[in-house]
Amino acid sequence: MSEDGSTHGAAAIVVEHLTKKFGDFTADDDLNFQVQQGEIFGILGPNGAGKSTLIRMLNTLLPPTSGRALIMGLDVAKDTAAVRGEIGVIPQANTVDGDLTAWESLDIYAKFYGMGRSERRERAEELLKSVGLEEWRDKAAGTYSGGMRRRLEIARGLIHRPRVFFLDEPTTGLDPQSRRVIWELLERLRAAGNLTILLCTHYMDEADRLCDRLAIIDHGKIVALGTPRELKESVPGQEILNVEFMQDFGDELLQALKGLPNIRDAGREDPHTARLILSSEVVPLEDITNMARQHNVKVKSMTLLEPTLEDVFIHYTGRGLRDTANEQYSYAMPRIMR
């Protein structure tokens, strides 16, 4: 085992000192990690953290500024053609051709990979079945729902039996039910074969459910790497207590709660719920109810929570994922201007 918890040799993805700069701006800064074959590896981070740039380098779309990356032992900067044969990619943008049917899309992509007629037909049928679009195969994709288009993209990305599959925010913009369908699909795919999946997301629940291991990336650097459990356990003051009051409460109460023993930090979950991060397993129940009474509010309920990846993220980056969402604009613009 190496320091990042993986073994050498059988790695599907090897990233070594990988760096990408756009002028003065460093999008990815000295990234190092490995993904084993058959693993689902998550890259978790806010918009603009450098996730898409990392994926694009691994997909041969952007040459690295320095460092190197190997896909199935092939250098993404040197063996580009060979790498492209090994990878399937679901880009962040919806790139399904609305005018084409699912069948046509799959057939055309299969031709890009030089697949023969019978092989194309067989593979397309198999994939349409596994993504649940058989009945829609001859309908234009423009008539599909967002979730169906994503499933079609997943089928399209797998048409040539790639060994490493990249998904850039596969469920962004989808309704909860469609997201669950995509998750189940990815789990089945992983179970079915030796497919390695690298998944970028900014959804904690998605990362938690799907990923064997994940890297939290922020401002172009990996700030934490491990299994979801390891990461959650690495957060000091593991437990969180949500205290719901009968009424909205003031900032004075929040400050007062912070001062109680065994409470490391306190924040506002919503106008009448406080989120307390505990530094010990002993919960100061008495103190909390007393403190509430002093501030003229009544405690309605208290819920002890396990830390989530959101807490892990806040711990490692100092802010919540959603707080960083508006960074997207400043990073998206230069790409369009180029």
Partner 1 sequence: MSGGKFDFKVSRMLAVAERDLRRFQRNRALMIPMVLMPIVYLVILGQAMGGDLHDLKIALVDQDHGPVAVDVHDRLLTLQQSRRLFQLSSEPDLDHAIAQLRQGAYKAVVVMPPDFSATLTRGEPAPLGVIVDNTDNTSANVIEGEMRRAVAGVRPSAPGIAPVVAIDVQRVDVYGHKEFMQYLVPGVIALALFFVAMLAGGIILVDDRARGIHEGYFVTPLTAIDLVGGLTLSASTLAMIIGTIVLVSAIVIARLPMIGGIQTFLLAELSMLLLGLGLILFMFTLMARVSNPMTPRALFGILNVVTFFPSGALYPTESYPTWLKALSAVFPMRYAVHALRALLLKGVGFGAVAPDLAVMAGFAAIMLVLAAVLFKRTL
User: Residues interacting with partner 1, by CB under 8 A?
Assistant: 56, 59-63, 81, 84-85, 87, 89, 91-95, 97, 109, 112-114, 335-336, 338
CA distance 110 to 120: 6
Minimum CB separation of residue 85 from partner 1 in Å reads: 6
Nearer to partner 1 by Cβ, of 168 and 218: the residue is 168
Contact yes or no for 102/136 (Cβ under 8 A): yes
**What is the smallest separation between the CB atom of 161 and partner 1, expressed in angstroms?**
13
In the complex, least distance from residue 155 CB atom to partner 1, rounded to whole angstroms: 13
Give whichever of 64 and 228 is closer to partner 1, judged by the CB atom.
64
Give the nearer residue to partner 1 in terms of CB position, either 26 or 234: 26
Which three-class secondary structure state does DSSP give residue 136? helix
Among the listed residues 108, 92, 91, 95, the one whose alpha carbon sits nearest the alpha carbon of residue 159: 108
Buried b / exposed e across 262-294, counting CB within 10 Å, b at 16+?
Answer: bbeebeeeeeebbbbbbeeeebbeebbeebbee
Closer to partner 1 by Cβ: residue 12 or 225: 12
Q: Looking at beta carbons only, is 85 or 237 nearer to partner 1?
A: 85
Q: How far is the CB of 52 from partner 1 (least distance, A)?
A: 10
DSSP 8-state symbol, 101 = B
Answer yes or no: are the C-beta atoms of 238 and 296 closer than 8 Å.
Answer: no
Contact between 99 and 142 (Cβ < 8 Å): yes
Strands 299-305 and 240-245: antiparallel
Q: Could you tell me the end-to-end alpha-carbon distance of the chain, in angstroms, rounded to an integer? A: 42
Q: How far apart are CA 228 and CA 221, in angstroms?
A: 18
Nearer to partner 1, 12 or 266 (CB): 12
- Helices vs strands, H then E, count in the chain: 12, 14
Residue with smaller CB distance to partner 1, 76 or 292: 76
Rank residues 83 and 223 by Cβ distance to partner 1 and give the closer one. Answer: 83
- Say how far apart CA 41 and CA 155 lie, in whole Å: 20
DSSP code for 328: H
Closest of 225, 202, 190 to residue 31, by C-alpha: 225
Picking from 60, 50, 338, 322, the residue whose alpha carbon sits closest to that of residue 200 is: 50
The one-letter amino acid at 277: I
Residue 89 CB, shortest distance to partner 1, in Å, is 4
The label of the residue with tokens 């994503």 reads 150
User: To the nearest whole angstrom, how small is the minimum distance from the Cβ of residue 167 to partner 1?
Assistant: 12
CB of 130 to partner 1, least distance (A): 20
Closer residue to partner 1 (CB): 129 or 335: 335
Please state the closest distance from residue 315 (CB atom) to partner 1, in A: 34
- The CA-CA-CA angle for residues 47, 93, 178, to 5°, reads 90
Q: How far is the CB of 93 from partner 1 (least distance, A)?
A: 3
